[in-house]
């Protein structure tokens, strides 16, 4: 017989008791599931570093006698079965009161039903597939959605002289989501899609896929991949094929030119236009402070990216839950608090949670890779304020 998660949790509490804490300390246990090993570990590391940096710098803001215990698990990559097992272990054995992380959409989709069953708040720091928040009433996203980046980018591209575009995206849920978003925004604004190409996740060589679109002679290519080293491989293949030199522009969401990969991409990235909710070059006091503290903690050459900001803001939301409840985490109260949470001083700019969708609302910046002071940067040159997730507005009844 398969026992429901609630019953398993009750048995675990009765058999093992809570993890010991000093008599004068109240422990709030938070489980974080990320990819800490394998080819995508750099993404998980960035999220983790952002979360840990916030935790260290704001530790004194916790209520007196309350301690945040962060319990980490390595999902190893886009592995739904592994993620589901780890989430169950964190809730049942480790007795965490809050779940967070959320690097991969397939993994988040596997964890969401467990969050519902166990009534555990789940703060998603990364996964951008638009429909994700509809998987559980306990799931709240502080990161972004692919539609927030790619739909307005499509509209911007069509309104700024691009009429014929090909798409090249990674073949997984987020890639399909990004492609659909860009195509919808671009065609709604009068553009034409010349061709669509899908590349397998973790593609080592993008040349064969970009070769297909080169033959179609579009004005631009819209690209999407998970970011990290895969983004660098994409940019270098684009450059090596001579697409930029032949006048074919490259546009995409933040994932194609992450701030921390620009140095690895080199001058091949110059001129790439992207849409994002964050840039390390953003001219905002909160961002300047964040970048400065990041470099103190992780080295002068280290650069935070949008994954890192997801970790930072996710931990800020968790601190809000702990402070407002004085360390006594109640599921129903936590949902209310997250639904009304806002942060006017995020490194990304003002942000808040939409109480109806449990998704983030924030500015979207149109950026261009430029060399500034000898360094490559994503320079913001246009701002779209307070962008909601367009997918939910266009698909109000979709699951």
| 122/99 Cα distance (integer angstroms) | 5
Report H helices in the chain: 5-16, 41-57, 80-92, 105-118, 146-159, 173-188, 207-216, 229-240, 262-265, 285-298, 306-324, 331-339, 390-394
User: Could you tell me which residue, 397 or 94, shows the higher pLDDT?
Assistant: 94
pLDDT tier, 173 (very low <50, low <70, confident <90, very high otherwise):
confident
Phi and psi based region of residue 337 (left: phi greater than 0; alpha: psi -120 to 50; beta: remaining): alpha
Q: What is the pTM of this model?
A: 0.90
Q: Which domains does the chain have, with CATH numbers?
A: 5-144+286-355 (3.40.50.2300), 147-276+363-394 (3.40.50.2300)
User: Which SS3 state, helix, strand or coil, does residue 388 take?
Assistant: coil
How many beta carbons lie within 10 A of that of residue 240, not counting itself?
12
Compute the average pLDDT of residues 13-20: 41
Element (H, E) at 340: none
- Residue 20 has a pLDDT of 52
Each residue of 181-191: pLDDT tens digit?
999 999 999 99
Can you tell me which residue has the tokens 């596997």? Answer: 110
- Residue 23 has a pLDDT of 58
Each residue of 262-313: pLDDT tens digit?
999 999 999 999 999 999 999 999 999 999 999 999 999 999 999 999 999 9
pLDDT at residue 9 greater than cutoff 50? no
Each residue of 214-243: pLDDT tens digit?
999 999 999 999 888 999 999 999 999 999
Per-residue burial over 78-114, b = 16 or more CB atoms within 10 Å of its CB, e = otherwise:
bbbebbbebbbebbbebbbbbbbbbbbbbbbbbbbeb
pLDDT tier, 21 (very low <50, low <70, confident <90, very high otherwise):
low
- Residue 112 has a pLDDT of 98
Interstrand relation of 273-276 and 359-372 (parallel, antiparallel or unpaired): antiparallel
DSSP 2-49: PPPHHHHHHHHHHHH-PPP--TT-EEEEEEEEE--SSTTHHHHHHHHH
Compute the C-alpha angle 389/390/394, nearest 5°.
130
pLDDT at residue 11 greater than cutoff 70? no
| 303/292 Cα distance (integer angstroms) | 10
> Cβ contacts of residue 98 below 8 Å, gap of 6+?
28, 29, 30, 31, 120, 121, 122, 123, 318, 321, 329, 334
- Residue 174 has a pLDDT of 86
Q: What percent of the chain has pLDDT over 70?
A: 94
| 181/328 Cα distance (integer angstroms) | 40
DSSP 221-244: EEEE---THHHHHHHHHHHHTTTT
Each residue of 321-347: pLDDT tens digit?
999 999 999 999 999 999 999 999 999
Lowest mean pLDDT among 152-156, 349-353, 385-389, 395-399: 395-399
Interstrand relation of 273-276 and 249-253 (parallel, antiparallel or unpaired): parallel
pLDDT at residue 17 greater than cutoff 50? no
Contact between residue 165 and residue 197 where contact means Cβ atoms under 8 Å apart: no
Joined together, the tokens standing for residue 280 give 């390390």
| 313/126 Cα distance (integer angstroms) | 11
Compute the average pLDDT of residues 80-95: 98
The chain-wide mean pLDDT, for the chain, equals 94
């Amino acid at each position: 017989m398969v026992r429901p998660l609630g019953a398993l949790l009750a048995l675990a509490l009765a058999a093992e008791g809570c993890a010991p804490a000093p008599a004068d300390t109240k422990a709030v246990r938070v489980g974080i599931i990320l990819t800490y090993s394998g080819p995508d570990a750099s993404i998980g590391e960035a999220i983790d570093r952002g979360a840990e940096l916030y935790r260290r710098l704001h530790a004194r803001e916790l209520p007196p006698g309350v301690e945040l215990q962060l319990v980490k698990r390595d999902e190893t990559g886009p592995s739904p079965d592994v993620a589901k097992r780890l989430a169950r272990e964190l809730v049942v054995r480790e007795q965490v009161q809050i779940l967070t992380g959320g690097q991969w959409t397939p993994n988040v989709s596997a964890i969401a039903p467990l969050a519902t069953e166990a009534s555990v708040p789940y703060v998603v720091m990364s996964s951008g597939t638009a429909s994700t928040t509809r998987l559980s009433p306990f799931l709240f996203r502080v990161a972004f959605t692919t539609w927030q980046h790619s739909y307005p980018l499509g509209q911007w591209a069509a309104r700024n002289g691009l009429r014929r575009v090909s798409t090249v995206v990674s073949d997984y849920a987020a890639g399909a989501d990004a492609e659909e978003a860009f195509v919808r925004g671009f065609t709604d604004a009068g553009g034409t899609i010349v061709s669509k190409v899908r590349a397998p996740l973790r593609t080592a060589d993008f040349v064969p896929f970009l070769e297909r679109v080169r033959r179609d002679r579009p004005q631009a290519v819209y690209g999407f991949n998970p970011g990290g080293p895969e983004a660098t491989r994409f940019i270098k293949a684009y450059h090596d094929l001579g697409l930029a030199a032949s006048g074919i522009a490259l546009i995409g969401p933040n994932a194609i030119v992450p701030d921390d990969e620009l140095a690895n991409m080199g001058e091949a990235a110059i001129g790439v236009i992207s849409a994002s909710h964050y840039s390390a070059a953003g001219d905002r006091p909160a961002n300047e402070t964040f970048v400065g503290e990041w470099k103190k903690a992780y080295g002068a050459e280290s650069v935070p990216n949008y994954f890192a900001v997801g970790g930072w803001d996710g931990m800020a939301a968790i601190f809000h839950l702990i402070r407002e409840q004085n360390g006594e985490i109640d599921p129903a109260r936590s949902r209310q608090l997250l639904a009304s949470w806002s942060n006017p001083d995020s490194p990304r700019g003002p942000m808040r949670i939409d109480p109806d969708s449990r998704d983030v609302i924030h500015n979207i910046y149109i950026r261009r890779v430029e060399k500034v002071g000898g360094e490559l940067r994503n320079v913001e040159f246009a701002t779209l304020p307070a962008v909601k997730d367009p997918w939910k507005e266009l698909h109000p009844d979709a699951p």
